[in-house]
Structure 1
Amino acid sequence: MRLTFRLLRFNPETGDRASWQDVRLDIHRGMTVLEALIRIKNEVDGTLSLRYSCRSAICGSCAMDINGSEKLACRTSVRQEFERHGQVAVGPLRNMPVIKDLVVDMSPFWNKIRSVAPWLSSKSAVASGPSGQMIIFPSQAQFHNVDACIMCGACVAACTTHEVSRGFLGPAALAKAERFLADPREPLHVKRFRIEQLQDTDGIWDCTRCNFCVQVCPKDVKPMEAIIRLRRASLQQGATETGGARHIVGFRQLIERDGRLNEALMPLKVVGFDINRLVQVGPLGLRMLVRGKVPSPFGHAIPGIEQVRAIFRTVGQRQRVSQPTRPSPRAASAT
């Protein structure tokens, strides 16, 4: 069977913009996109640049944009792509600097990974193994498959927040940060510091929860769920100053009080007492009022409001019971 492959070519030495090139190639049953690209380079056009290594979906080097979705070329079937899309179009990962053809510069990606300090800060004082090592049982920590990440960069390339804000840490770095936050060997004060560092702009609250990182991840890491766990830990620590945190807290308060969302009060919950922001959302409030989106202050409470409040009380009691008690400074110094 002979197919036409569409390749997005870019050569920085010529100064030309990236353009599509059609290449005809005979394929065999079971051929992967990476096999086809290697054959094109060896038999058709030796100037084609691509990156690959293990060919076994382990190293993550061959992550590319294949028919508009981030995939590993070594595990992507040519036949399935053609049957699904009617073509096989291959380009470099999106939203990353292109070095040449299908090769992108991964330096920004690695810089973001390093910025979250993906390592244990110090050795634990608790050692319980025969050689002095610390033994971690499954009941002590759950890493939620985050360790399966192969650093291919597909999640960052698919991230809609990263597309408009290149400073965003990205799904891979935030998932790695959550993995060390969940590690029982990490001291508590370091975990609090990690959470504080992630409150800034381009941190955990900038994720729009588009879920694309989960869809394209070849190892089922589910980075977005790791970001959600980071947000929960942040709220439990009391870090509620950012707009994203205030949105969650305000949403919860309104539902607990009224049993429904009050769209007129929700912006005020997020903005707080910032005069400049209040002036900015003023026109929005007027438009909501005109369109009937502002609930009447004299409206009746929804049926079953007490049941809703009972749910919040029950959850709050369980959270207080599950949270570890902190020793007082006097008790800590005495020990």
Structure 2
Amino acid sequence: MAEFALPKNSRLTKGKHFPAKGGAKNTRTFKIYRWSPDGDQNPRTDTYEIDLDACGPMVLDALIKIKNEIDPTLTFRRSCREGICGSCAMNIDGTNTLACTRAIADCGKAEVPIYPLPHMDVVKDLVPDLTHFYAQYASIKPWIRTQTPAPADRERLQSPDDRKKLDGLYECILCACCSTSCPSYWWNGERYLG
């Protein structure tokens, strides 16, 4: 029989529970992954009951409410709140997605599980280490390279026709949702671009 030795701090434990404030009738429970590199504790999942009548419609709204009003130690990335920057990428309800574009109403479970992007080191809580992801991206030099030197006295001009050739090639916002969903990336992270 095979025996496996799990790495230190790899067992997920049940964490704290934060009930909704008295009188809240329209609540939703969020089960959020928590881990800090400070100390020697295992990761845990804390549960937060949120009054949806006092919260915006998106999962990011709930996370901001939790951080601002319930637990200021919760750590996650966010920026644009528009689905443009990719900062708030995480695993919500079993799917890698952006917290700013995922509606709470679209989450199917009574308890909405929220985890960092899978198969990446975790910096803290919902913040993955994207160093390897960005290094792989830079390795393919995904920018426009020219055959001629740049003009010394002005910027390089681009015609509307030249720009049209690039349409459809730059929609990736580098959120890492697709790469971290891909089994080939999981098993061959050093060689498979994603």
The separation in 2 between residues aligned to 1:134 and 1:36, in whole angstroms, is 42
Q: Could you say if the C-alpha distance between residues 132 and 101 of structure 1 is closer, same or farther in structure 2, counting changes exceeding 3 Å? A: closer
Structure 2 vs 1, CA of residues 26 and 162 (structure 1 numbering), >3 Å: closer, same or farther? Answer: same
1:158 match: 181
CA distance in 1 between partners of 2:156 and 2:145 (Å): 18
Q: Note if 1:68 corresponds to 2:94.
A: yes
Among 45, 55, 61, the residue aligned to 1:20: 45
> Match of 1:107?
131
Q: TM-score under structure 1 normalisation?
A: 0.45
Per the alignment, residue 169 of structure 2 pairs with 146
Question: RMSD of the alignment, in Å?
Answer: 2.4
Identify if the C-alpha distance between structure 1 residues 75 and 132 changes in structure 2 by more than 3 Å, giving closer, same or farther.
Answer: closer
- Looking at structure 2, the residues matched to 107 and 144 of structure 1 have their Cα atoms a distance apart, in angstroms, of 28
- How far did residue 141 of structure 1 move? 7.5
* Separation of aligned partners in 1, 2:111 and 2:156: 57
Contact 2:29 2:110 (8 Å CA) reproduced: no
TM-score w.r.t. structure 2 length?
0.75
* 1:78-227 alignment runs, 5 A limit: 78-81=104-107, 84-124=108-148, 133=157, 135=159, 137=161, 142-143=165-166, 145-171=168-194
CA drift of 1:57 comes to: 0.7
Contact 1:7 1:21 in 2 (8 A): yes
Q: Where does residue 207 of structure 1 map in the other structure? A: none
Are the equivalent residues in 1 in contact too, given 2:77–2:127 (CA < 8 A)?
Answer: yes
Structure in which a larger fraction of residues adopt helix: 1
Contact (CA 8 Å) 2:56, 2:62: kept in 1 or not? no
Question: Where do 5+ consecutive residues of structure 2 fail to align?
Answer: 1-25, 150-154
d(CA) in 1 for partners of 2:174, 2:31:
26
Amino acid at match of 1:6: K
The question of whether the paired residues in 2 share the 8 Å contact of 1:30 and 1:77 is answered with no
Which of 1 and 2 has greater Rg?
A: 1
Aligned to 1:6: 31
Question: Is the Cα contact below 8 Å between 2:89 and 2:117 reproduced in 1?
Answer: yes
Q: Structure 1 CA distance, aligned partners of 2:182 and 2:78?
A: 23
More relative contact order, 1 or 2 (CA 8 Å, 6+ apart):
2
| Cα-to-partner distance string for 1:24-61 (whole Å, 9 max, x where unaligned) | 11113751100100110111111100100011111110
Contact 2:28 2:52 in 1 (8 A): yes
Aligned partners of 1:59 and 1:144: how far apart in 2? 18
Q: Which amino acid aligns with 1:157?
A: T
Give distance in 2, aligned partners of 1:37 and 1:132: 42
**1:30 and 1:79 in contact (8 A); partners too:** no
Matched residue of 1:12: which SS? coil
One-letter identity of the residue aligned with 1:73:
A
**Secondary structure of 1:21's match?**
strand
- Separation (CA, whole Å) in 1 of partners of 2:156 and 2:39: 59
Describe the SS at the equivalent of 2:32: strand
Contact 2:76 2:125 in 1 (8 A): yes
